[in-house]
Amino acid sequence: MNELSEFEINKIPLPFRSYARLLIEKRSPYFDVVDFLLKEFEFHYKKAGQSQIVYMINPRLLAKQVELLVEAKQDAKQLEPSVADEYREKLTSKNVCNTILAFFHICEKKGKLKKGEDFYATTVTSGRKNYHVKIDGKTLNVYSKMFT
């Protein structure tokens, strides 16, 4: 991944700094969230005929999807249940939200993407947030370079 310096990491707001470090270290399940999103971005961008799209992220649904993915990866490694429980950290909607925001902050710091222009959040009446990401050739390239 295109590494951030410690100085750049320290510019990320405190609640998301530790998540940014987990992403940089490619720690599961946090990196799995970003990896899943990048694959989704690319799939939907190609499906749309490589025209600009806005991809909506629902953290609650994303947590469920990534949780299934992580479980499948663990099954493939055939870990014993007690080892698997210690190996895996619980993925919650809150963790997913913080991971997404850390992802945005990293891309903003290093990739020169702009909050409000390339990505933004909306709040539904129940208070739940959804995140929206503009996907075009430029942004997809930046996202992919940050986490490959």
| pLDDT tens digits, one per residue of 34-82 | 999 999 999 999 999 988 999 999 999 999 999 888 888 777 665 555 5
Q: List Cβ neighbours of 105 (8 Å cut-off, separation of 6 or more).
A: 12, 13, 16, 20
For residue 102, is pLDDT > 80? yes
Residue 89 DSSP label? P
For residue 1, is pLDDT > 50? no
